[in-house]
């Protein structure tokens, strides 16, 4: 049985003058026998997690990260820590896109720290962010990898609520992503988008595209980077309504960046790139994101 908490009744900040909630989630996975199990789970609302599902022949654990509050509000502070023990294999996703609601004062913030021990594999594919008008979000993702581990992660966001014509009406979107392999940086990306200070639709930025994403692959010991980069390029070039490219990131990784016109195109290209990486790096068939 997985030790877990029932959460905490204290879901708001201890400061009554502050708007927002302090959420916490801590997960630990171990390989036991032929499959990966969730062996430790602690949370404080508005963060939560589903029980693992096993939808692949290799018995990797498929887990959905949940926010029962429905999204992020200005002043929210969410922290997630995840550890994959030696030899474990986990796929993390979310059941739907994450809404970022308007911030009257302080921005919403979320921080995720992930540790991969030897020979562990993480596939991290949350659905994209949707920043509403006047919203503000500061987020960070840090992955620390040990020898012979592998991470495949995807991050994406929309320009706003497209159906309501709210493109680029959010206040700010600040995002930091770092991947370190054996204490050496392999991938570092820092972005700060403040629509009032730039023209997002300009040539060389988003132009007419409404969805922007990136895929990062770091795998210690993998040698076929040139073939993987070429396959990612071919996948991007074959996708209608999508513009993007791929390149190697040193001797241990590669990066693909892409823009799409619609949410359906974003979902399709994300699934296509993921399937490509699974086949070439993990030697496994595609895995569809599902809601259980």
Band the pLDDT of 59: cuts 50, 70, 90.
Answer: confident
Report whether pLDDT(113) > 90. Answer: yes
DSSP structure string for 243-271: EEEEEE-TTSEEEEEEEESSHHHHHHHHH
Tens of pLDDT along 190-202?
A: 999 999 898 887 8
Instruction: Answer yes or no: is pLDDT of 26 > 70.
Output: yes
Q: Alpha-carbon distance 120 to 130, whole Å?
A: 31
Q: Look at residue 231 in the predicted model and tell me its pLDDT.
A: 97
Contact indicator for 127, 133 with CB cutoff of 8 Å: no
Give helix 225-237 / helix 263-277 axis angle, nearest 10°. Answer: 160
Residue with tokens 């980077």: 225
CB-based contact 83:120 (threshold 8 Å): no
Given a cut of 60, is residue 140 above it in pLDDT?
yes
Residue 163 DSSP SS3: helix
Q: How many CB atoms lie within 10 A of CB 41?
A: 18
CA pair distance 110, 141, nearest whole angstrom: 9
Edge-to-edge strand ranges of the sheet holding 108-116: 35-44, 22-32, 77-84, 108-116, 136-145, 172-181, 184-193
Percent of the chain with pLDDT over 70: 91
Phi, psi of 238 (to 5 degrees): -85, -5
Q: How many Cβ atoms sit within 10 Å of the Cβ of residue 246?
A: 22
Residue 189, C-beta contacts closer than 8 angstroms, at least 6 positions apart: 175, 176, 177, 178, 214
Q: How much is the pLDDT for 56?
A: 62
Residue 222 CA to residue 231 CA, distance in Å, equals 15
- Three-state secondary structure readout of 181-242: ECCEEEEEEEEEECHHHCCCCCCCCCCCCCEEEEEEEEECCCCCHHHHHHHHHHHHHCCCCE
Determine the pLDDT at residue 15: 56
Three-state DSSP class for residue 166: coil
For residue 86, is pLDDT > 80? yes
Q: Whole-model pTM?
A: 0.89
Residue 61 pLDDT exceeds 90: yes
63-81 confidence digits (pLDDT tens): 999 988 888 999 899 999 9
pLDDT 10s digits, 177-229:
999 999 899 999 999 999 989 888 787 778 889 999 999 999 999 999 999 99
Q: Give the tens place of pLDDT for each residue, 252-281.
A: 999 999 999 999 999 999 999 999 999 999
For the record, the structure tokens of 280 come out as 């070439």
Say whether pLDDT at 290 is over 60: no
| Rounded Cα–Cα distance for residues 67 and 64 (Å) | 10
The answer to whether the CB of 235 falls within 8 A of the CB of 273 is yes
Please report which confidence band the pLDDT of residue 10 belongs to, taking 50, 70 and 90 as the band edges.
very low
Taking the C-alpha atoms of residue 120 and residue 280, their distance in angstroms, rounded to an integer, is: 17
């Amino acid at each position: 049985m997985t030790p877990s908490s029932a959460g905490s009744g204290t879901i708001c900040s201890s400061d009554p003058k502050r708007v927002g909630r302090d959420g916490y989630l801590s997960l630990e996975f171990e390989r036991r026998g032929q499959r990966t199990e969730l062996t430790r789970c602690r949370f404080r609302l508005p963060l939560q997690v589903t029980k693992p599902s096993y939808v692949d022949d290799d018995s990797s654990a498929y887990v959905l990260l949940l926010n029962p509050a429905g999204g992020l509000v200005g002043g929210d502070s969410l922290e997630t820590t995840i550890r994959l023990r030696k030899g474990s294999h986990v796929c993390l996703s979310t059941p739907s896109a994450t809404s970022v609601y308007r911030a009257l004062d302080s921005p919403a913030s979320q921080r995720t720290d992930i540790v991969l021990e030897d020979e562990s594999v993480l596939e991290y594919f949350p659905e994209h962010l949707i920043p509403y008008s006047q919203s503000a979000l500061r987020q960070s993702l840090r992955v620390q990898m040990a020898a012979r581990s592998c991470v495949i992660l995807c991050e994406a966001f929309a320009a706003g609520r497209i159906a309501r014509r709210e493109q680029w009406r959010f206040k700010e979107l600040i995002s930091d992503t770092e991947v370190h392999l054996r204490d050496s940086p392999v991938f570092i990306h820092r972005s700060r988008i403040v629509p009032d200070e730039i023209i997002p639709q300009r040539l060389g930025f988003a132009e007419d595209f409404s969805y922007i994403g990136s895929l990062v692959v770091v795998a210690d010991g993998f040698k076929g980077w040139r073939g993987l980069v070429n396959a990612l390029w071919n996948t991007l070039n074959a996708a209608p309504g999508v513009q993007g490219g791929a390149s190697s990131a040193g001797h241990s990784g590669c990066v693909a960046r892409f823009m799409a016109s619609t949410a359906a195109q974003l979902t399709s290209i994300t699934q296509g790139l993921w399937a490509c990486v699974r086949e070439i790096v993990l030697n496994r068939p595609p895995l569809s994101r599902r809601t259980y």
